[in-house]
Amino acid sequence: MKNHISVFLAFLLMPLLGLAQSPMQAGFEMLEKGQFEEAATFFKAYLEKEPDNQTAMLCYGRGVGLSGNTDEAKKVFSHLQELKPGDFEVDLNMAEAYMWSKDFKTALELYQELYARDPKSFPAVLGLANAYSENKKYDEALTFIEEALAIQPTNANAKVSRKFMRLGKGALYMNAGNYHEAINLHNLILTEDSLDTDGLLNRANALIASKQYDKAKKDYQTLLSIPAKEVQCYLGLSRIANLDRDKKQSLKVAKEAVAAADSANTIIAHMGLVNAYGALKDFKSAFRIIDSLWLIYPDNPELISAYGRMNIWSKGFKKATEYYEKLLEVKPSSFDGNLGFADAHHAMSLDNTAFEYVRKTLGFYPGQIDALNFLERLHQSHDPSISSHVFSSSDNGGNLSTNYNFIGTFDPHPNWRTFISYYSRKAENMSAGLENVEVKKVDNYGAGLSYQVNGWLKLSAKYNFLLSDDYTRKLGEVSAGLRAGKYQNIEILYKEEVQNFNADLIKRNLKLSNFQMNYNLSLPNRIGLYSQLIHTAISDGNKRNLAFVSLYYDILTRPSLKAGFNYSIFGFQQQVPEVYFSPDVFKGYEVFVGSENVNLPNVKWIYQAIFATGIQQISSEDTQGIYRFDIKAGRKFGSRFYLMGYYMKSNSAASSVQGFTYNEWGIRSRWAIPLRNL
């Protein structure tokens, strides 16, 4: 709060200014006009002539204190307190000196004492209110500012103080995500002055946060008539357009912000343009703007932050950490630096560091809603969880199954995960008629762990113990996941399994040893490629080779909507159709479309759906039309538990071991148990 300076000048100098033609009149006028350094020089010279003049001492103390030398001011006021013990005016100046030096805790204690001595003193009450405000105790500040206004209802400085107290309390509400209360406080400000720029800008921000975009636009349109606020208005309108998914309009308005900017706000205007290009995934243009500004403003914190942000958006996570480290060297308490550093490490799955820096962020900004939400997401990822998948299946070959699958996870460290699993499958074959139903059951108990070695390598291993009525099996699985550059991920794995599609296969105890590589490419232009290569050695001596390629385009990201083309080919070394589907060659061609909203925050009803159609060719047979669909729908019960039911159907021969039309229906769920032990 800066307005308390003029308040005290008015009250403390009023009796002095009444001394017509005083030899100190010129110094009084300097103080009144805010010429504090000149006033300090004037009164210092005056004290050389009259060293015991207490009025000159008081004015000298104010002059040096308000010009920045608060230690000298405290010495002067301390000396005056010795000369005039208990003098209310001198004690008021001492309290204010602590406000100047930003020792707001001591200032509050002094004003509390002054208020106790004279609760009707306007400077004491106003000073107490301002001291509470600077200590961010806005409820107390607003209580005492009302007392001050009860003493002087028309005092303009007190009204300005009240406005900034409301803005301060509104900022706390915003940080805590209580946007409705923030808007109410801004409405109080605007009730007194409908064109108050601080009130309009802050209310617009709160309206955006509460997704009331049309109302926010009205506030920005009002502010556009005020030239000094054009840049903020255009940036706000650009932000709204981006949130409304009109990214081209966002870019257009951001360019207007740059056109309206002067030297004082050129960086903030250009940062809005950088963000607009980033939202369009035009990172080349975004980085070009930052680079050009860097030549003029090297080491500017806003530019360092922008480099970090654009690197995260463009998946240059390691580079982003380097910029955020540089930002934290400049300003250890930087919100963008701490939370950005956490975000970059989370993107690399290095959540131990992500936890550390989210907590640092909250240490500097207690209750900040974005940091709290980030911390909660981290906990949801690493708190113990229980997942279940219960389903049944059937095909037109008379095969039925009932399945129960449960997985429990526990992370002893954010970079480590341990898990146990249980999978039970009962398969029935009714092809021989109801009187000869063959039933086989297999139970699979598993345990494993994974370790995030660094930002580009993750290792996993799993051990399974399988039991059936006829035999037991020990099965292993190991994998390595690699982040190969910004846009590429590779997974290499070896996995053992027992073929359990139907009762006959369970009885035959066929072990499959799979050597597999998965490759995923996701480009900024929304084009993606997923491919899979598998070589399988079967315990009966047979071998299978499989290749799958999916080329797709992300039409939307919120919710996800993609479409693409799939190609699959596989073949077996030996054909044993009496045992399992084993053509010498199978080719499948599909076009597909898929959509989901499961990963969107704050949605209750969730879904996943995929539809595909195409053709398949088995050996040298004629091509056949194929289709498949998989529809899941459910609900999130809070952010930690979801339940989804689904139904899938396919007539593709690749969907079942025997090449039959396949149906499956079931329920999936996951519960992240809320523990705070990481």
> pLDDT (tens digit, 9 = 90+) per residue, 220-247?
999 988 878 889 999 999 999 999 889 9
Exposed (0-12), middle (13-18) or buried (19+): which is 624, by Cβ within 10 Å? middle
Quickly state the pLDDT bin for 660 (edges 50, 70, 90).
Answer: low
Quickly state the pLDDT bin for 141 (edges 50, 70, 90).
Answer: very high
> Residue 85: pLDDT above 50?
yes
The whole-number pLDDT of residue 263 equals 86
Euclidean distance between CA atoms 432 and 20, whole angstroms: 120
Weakest-pLDDT range from 271-280, 333-342, 645-654: 645-654
The whole-number pLDDT of residue 225 equals 82
In this structure, the chain runs to a length of 678
Average pLDDT on 482-497 reads 93
Average pLDDT on 403-423 reads 96
The whole-number pLDDT of residue 76 equals 92
Q: Does residue 236 contact residue 203 with C-beta atoms inside 8 Å?
A: no
Q: Which residues pair with 424 in a beta bridge?
A: 404, 443
Task: Look at residue 301 and give its three-state secondary structure.
Answer: helix
The whole-number pLDDT of residue 678 equals 42
Within 10 Å of residue 111's Cβ, how many Cβ atoms?
Answer: 27
Handedness of CA 549, 555, 557, 560 (dihedral sign): negative
Exposed (0-12), middle (13-18) or buried (19+): which is 214, by Cβ within 10 Å? exposed
Average pLDDT on 298-320 reads 94
> pLDDT (tens digit, 9 = 90+) per residue, 354-376?
999 999 999 999 989 899 999 99
> pLDDT (tens digit, 9 = 90+) per residue, 431-452?
555 445 577 899 999 999 999 9
The whole-number pLDDT of residue 21 equals 52
Weakest-pLDDT range from 40-44, 327-331, 653-657, 662-666: 653-657
Q: Does residue 196 contact residue 163 with C-beta atoms inside 8 Å?
A: yes
Task: Look at residue 408 and give its three-state secondary structure.
Answer: strand
Tokens of 185: 């406080």
Euclidean distance between CA atoms 284 and 106, whole angstroms: 52
Tokens of 343: 């975000």
Task: Look at residue 68 and give its three-state secondary structure.
Answer: coil
Q: Does residue 429 contact residue 438 with C-beta atoms inside 8 Å?
A: yes
Euclidean distance between CA atoms 1 and 315, whole angstroms: 42
Quickly state the pLDDT bin for 137 (edges 50, 70, 90).
Answer: very high
Q: Which residue has the higher pLDDT, 398 or 315?
A: 315
> Residue 392: pLDDT above 90?
yes
Domains of the chain: 398-672 (2.40.160)
Q: Which residue has the higher pLDDT, 578 or 490?
A: 490
The whole-number pLDDT of residue 420 equals 97
Quickly state the pLDDT bin for 2 (edges 50, 70, 90).
Answer: very low
Q: Which residues does 53 contact at the CB level (< 8 Å), separation at least 6? A: 46, 47
> Residue 547: pLDDT above 80?
yes
**DSSP secondary structure string for all residues of 438-505:** EEEEEEEEEEEEEEE-SSSEEEEEEEEEEEESS-EEEEEEEEEEEE-SSSEEEEEEEEEEE--SSHHH
> Residue 3: pLDDT above 70?
no
Average pLDDT on 487-513 reads 89
Task: Look at residue 49 and give its three-state secondary structure.
Answer: helix
- DSSP structural state of residue 621: S
Average pLDDT on 304-332 reads 95
Euclidean distance between CA atoms 347 and 351, whole angstroms: 9
The whole-number pLDDT of residue 264 equals 87
Q: What are phi and psi of 417, to 5 degrees?
A: -135, 135
- DSSP structural state of residue 531: E
Average pLDDT on 599-605 reads 88
- Look at the block and give the residue holding tokens 């006009």: 33
Euclidean distance between CA atoms 499 and 540, whole angstroms: 12
Euclidean distance between CA atoms 675 and 452, whole angstroms: 21
**DSSP secondary structure string for all residues of 246-264:** -HHHHHHHHHHHHHH--TT
Q: Does residue 580 contact residue 505 with C-beta atoms inside 8 Å?
A: yes
Q: Which residues does 469 contact at the CB level (< 8 Å), separation at least 6? A: 440, 441
Beta strands in 27-167 (DSSP E): none
Task: Look at residue 77 and give its three-state secondary structure.
Answer: helix
> Residue 413: pLDDT above 90?
yes
Quickly state the pLDDT bin for 5 (edges 50, 70, 90).
Answer: very low
The whole-number pLDDT of residue 19 equals 44
Average pLDDT on 451-471 reads 93
Average pLDDT on 292-321 reads 95
> pLDDT (tens digit, 9 = 90+) per residue, 30-76?
988 889 999 999 999 998 889 889 889 999 999 999 999 999 999 99
Strands 662-672 and 641-650: antiparallel
Euclidean distance between CA atoms 243 and 475, whole angstroms: 49
Average model confidence (pLDDT) across the chain: 90
Quickly state the pLDDT bin for 659 (edges 50, 70, 90).
Answer: low
Weakest-pLDDT range from 16-25, 297-306, 387-396: 16-25
> Residue 16: pLDDT above 50?
no
| Whole-number CA gyration radius for the chain | 35
Which contacts of 543-551 are long-range, i.e. CB under 8 A and separated by 24 or more positions?
543/572, 543/573, 543/574, 544/570, 544/571, 544/572, 544/573, 544/582, 545/570, 545/571, 546/570, 551/527
> Residue 17: pLDDT above 70?
no
348, HSE (Cβ side, Cα atoms, 13 Å): 26
